């Protein structure tokens, strides 16, 4: 069994010590053995994956450059299009759909030598915080199978935390990379909005969605980020500047860095005592290692959640209008085009997706637009201003990633508002469009992981990774759970 990082694997494949075919075969075997319990994957693609691995191996034996992530098995959230490979977004409405093109982030990862082994489970259309909203059943947390892995990128988080693969791609609209990374004890990073192309990412809330890496450690996250970031003419919201290579900025220390603790996101009844304890212990370690810790305030943070749950559903209700039963996906015939639309959407969408479409349609409808949607957009401006003030006092900001550890399966399903609280600490960054990362910072008494969130100003990914690597050097990283491994088999 392995908890090898992506960079370790790539080093051995590039040097010819191991073949990519062996690495990929082992990953597929781990998934086969352990994923019956975890259900991180919706499907694997052994034939394609082994074919890609063989191409890497022949490049290596021919003296060519197989790329910085040569032979690294990766999992891809099922919201990213993969040409000819079923892509469902966790929804019945897209069951069986095979996209005619591949998302830029996936193409770039493959160009760097990584090998996609399968597509991971998710909350339907990325709407949720537990992966229980998938039409294909829930994913379980590898560290406790009776608990959720978080969401919406829960399948990707679980695939890494289970030790199946060292790298997965997720998408983050309000915390969907960082919150499951926190609940599963791995690293999850959301880049600055516009850094990573959204081409081929099925849209949820277009002004908030961003693709990012989910990995075992910070160095892998930086390597994957470097591979997928950069301008893409196929995405009009892609930042035109050159995206710098951030790998050289990891110094593994926090000396001279000022961490601003966001007061509004690190105290209160919403937080598990164990989460706050691990967070404060980490702050003490930072100070002990020569970092500075100051308190900062984001006064509008308490309204960010409300603004988000108006803006994101409003954008979603518009984006999901494309699922009309006409050009692709499910169609349930009715007597008219409109009835076909209605029947298809009623049968194809799950509860949470319908709830958000309803919420968004309401917030945008005549008579309510100014009171809800337009007001929320102004609150978004206030959140951004608060961040500008906070960054005048600190290099990076920090908070717990999630107010709680992984909760039980089914625990929050009947209470949408309680579920939405899971995103309390992650949402403000999405509204501002800034980068942020979650790294493991300890466990509670039952061994459930706790995440430490670091935030940086826009385009300051290098600073973000440096601070996160510094924290990781103080705390270490959590070993994967490796379900499906017989006792004595582990290395």
Partner 1 sequence: MSITREDVVHVARLARLELSEDEIEQFAVQLSDIIDHAARIQALDTEGVEPTAHPLPLSNILRDDEPGSTLDREVFLSQAPACEDGYVKVPRILDDSAGGPGGGT
CB closer to partner 1, 4 vs 352: 352
CA distance linking residue 85 with residue 44, whole number of Å: 10
- By beta-carbon proximity to partner 1, the closer residue of 415 and 446 is 415
* Nearer Cβ to partner 1 (66/191): 191
275 exposure class (CB count in 10 Å sphere: 0-12, 13-18, 19+): buried
Residue partners of 137: CB distance under 8 A and separation at least 6: 39, 121
Stretch that binds partner 1, among 41-49, 118-126, 279-287, 375-383 (CB under 8 A): 375-383
**362 belongs to the binding site for partner 1 (CB under 8 A):** yes
Is 237 one of the binding residues for partner 1 (CB under 8 A)? yes
When the beta carbons of 330 and 450 are compared against partner 1, the nearer one is: 330
CA angle 480, 408, 93 (to 5 degrees): 90
- Please tell me whether residue 101 binds partner 1 under the rule CB under 8 A: yes
Among 51, 321, 447, 490, binds partner 1 (CB under 8 A): 321
Q: Is 357 in the site for partner 1 (CB under 8 A)?
A: yes
DSSP states of 185-228 as a string? TSEEEEPPTTTB--TTBPPSSTTT-EEEEEESSHHHHHHHHHHH
Cβ neighbours for 278, distance < 8 A, ≥ 6 positions apart: 400, 441, 442, 443, 444, 450, 452
Query: Binding residues for partner 1, how many (CB under 8 A)?
Result: 68
Task: Work out how close the CB of 27 gets to partner 1 at its nearest, in angstroms, rounded to a whole number.
Answer: 29
For residue 54, count CB atoms less than 10 angstroms from its CB and return exposed for 0-12, middle for 13-18, buried for 19 or more: middle
Q: Is 198 in the site for partner 1 (CB under 8 A)?
A: no
If one asks whether residue 127 binds partner 1 (CB under 8 A), the answer comes out as no
Q: Give the tokens for residue 195.
A: 């850094």
Query: For partner 1, which stretch binds (CB under 8 A), given 94-102, 123-131, 255-263, 399-407?
Result: 94-102
Please report where in the chains the tokens 């992966």 appear, as a residue: 131
381 binds partner 1 (CB under 8 A): yes
Report if residue 346 touches partner 1, rule: CB under 8 A. yes
Nearer to partner 1, 310 or 471 (CB): 310
CB of 324 to partner 1, least distance (A): 7
Who's near 50: CB < 8 A, 6+ residues apart? 21, 24, 25
Active-site residue list = 77, 152, 176
Nearest Cα residue to 476 out of 240, 252, 191, 166: 252
Q: How far is CA 77 from the centre of its chain?
A: 9
Question: Would you say 40 and 150 are in contact if contact means Cβ atoms under 8 Å apart?
Answer: no
Instruction: Output 350 or 449, the one with its CB closest to partner 1.
Output: 350
Q: Is 236 in the site for partner 1 (CB under 8 A)?
A: yes
DSSP 8-state symbol, 257: P
Give the interface with partner 1 as residue ranges (CB under 8 A).
Answer: 97-98, 100-101, 193-194, 207, 233, 236-237, 239-240, 300, 303, 306-307, 309-310, 317, 321, 324-331, 333-334, 336-343, 345-346, 349, 354-355, 357-359, 361-362, 365, 371-372, 374-382, 384, 416-417, 420, 431-433, 458
């Amino acid at each position: 069994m392995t908890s090898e990082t992506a960079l370790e694997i790539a080093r051995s494949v590039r040097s010819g010590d191991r073949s990519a075919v062996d690495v990929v075969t082992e990953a597929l075997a781990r998934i086969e053995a352990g994923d019956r319990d975890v259900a991180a994957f919706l499907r694997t693609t052994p034939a394609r994956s082994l074919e890609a691995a063989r191409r890497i191996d022949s490049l290596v034996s021919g003296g060519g450059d197989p790329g910085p992530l040569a032979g690294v098995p990766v999992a891809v959230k099922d919201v990213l299009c993969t040409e000819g490979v079923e892509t469902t977004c966790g929804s019945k409405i897209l069951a069986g759909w095979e996209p005619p093109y591949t998302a830029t982030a996936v193409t770039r990862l493959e160009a760097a030598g990584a090998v996609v082994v399968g597509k991971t489970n998710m909350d339907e259309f990325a709407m949720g915080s537990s992966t229980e909203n998938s039409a294909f059943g829930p994913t379980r947390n590898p560290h406790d199978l009776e608990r959720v892995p978080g969401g919406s990128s829960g399948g990707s988080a679980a695939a890494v935390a289970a030790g199946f693969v060292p790298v997965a791609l997720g998408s983050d609209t309000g915390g969907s990379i960082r919150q499951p990374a926190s609940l599963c004890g791995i690293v999850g990073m959301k880049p600055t909005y516009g850094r990573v192309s959204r081409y081929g990412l099925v849209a949820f809330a277009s002004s908030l969605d961003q693709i990012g890496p989910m990995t075992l450690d910070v160095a892998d996250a930086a390597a994957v980020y470097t591979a997928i970031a950069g301008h893409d003419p196929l995405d009009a919201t892609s930042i035109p500047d050159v995206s710098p290579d951030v790998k050289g900025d990891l110094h593994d220390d926090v000396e001279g860095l000022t961490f601003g603790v966001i007061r509004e996101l690190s105290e209160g009844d919403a937080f598990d005592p164990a989460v706050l304890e691990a967070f404060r212990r980490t702050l003490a370690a930072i100070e002990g290692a020569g970092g500075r810790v100051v308190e900062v305030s984001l006064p509008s943070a308490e309204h960010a959640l409300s603004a988000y749950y108006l803006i994101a559903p409003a954008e979603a209700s518009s984006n999901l209008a494309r699922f009309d039963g006409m050009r692709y996906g499910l169609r349930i015939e009715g007597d008219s085009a409109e009835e076909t639309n209605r029947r298809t959407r009623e049968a194809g969408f799950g509860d949470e997706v319908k709830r958000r479409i309803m919420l968004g349609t309401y917030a945008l409808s005549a008579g309510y637009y100014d009171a809800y949607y337009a007001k929320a957009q102004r609150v978004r401006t206030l959140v951004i201003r608060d961040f500008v003030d906070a960054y005048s006092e600190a290099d990076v900001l920090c908070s717990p990633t999630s107010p709680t550890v992984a909760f039980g399966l089914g625990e929050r399903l009947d209470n949408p508002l309680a579920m939405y609280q899971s995103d309390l600490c992650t949402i403000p960054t999405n509204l501002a469009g800034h980068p942020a990362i979650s790294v493991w910072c300890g466990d509670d008494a039952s061994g459930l992981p706790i995440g430490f969130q670091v935030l940086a100003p826009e385009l300051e990914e290098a600073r973000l990774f440096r601070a996160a690597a510094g924290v990781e050097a103080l705390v270490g990283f959590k070993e994967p759970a490796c379900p499906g491994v017989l006792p004595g088999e582990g290395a």
